[in-house]
Amino acid sequence: MKINKEIRNYTESIFFGLSIRQFIYSILACAVAVLIYFSSINTFGMEITS
> Mean pLDDT, 10 residues at a time, over the chain (50 residues)?
68 76 94 94 85
The pLDDT of residue 36 is: 93
Helix (H) / strand (E) containing 22? helix 20-44
pLDDT at residue 45, as a whole number: 85
- Measured CA to CA in angstroms, residue 20 lies from 7, 32, 34, 35 at distances of 19, 18, 21, 23
Rg (CA), the chain: 19
Question: For position 3, what pLDDT does the model report?
Answer: 66
- For residue 14, the tally of other CB atoms under 10 A from its CB is 11
The predicted pLDDT at position 19 comes to 84
At residue 17's C-alpha, the angle toward residues 28 and 23, to 5°, is 15
pLDDT score for 10: 67
Q: What pLDDT is attached to residue 46? A: 83
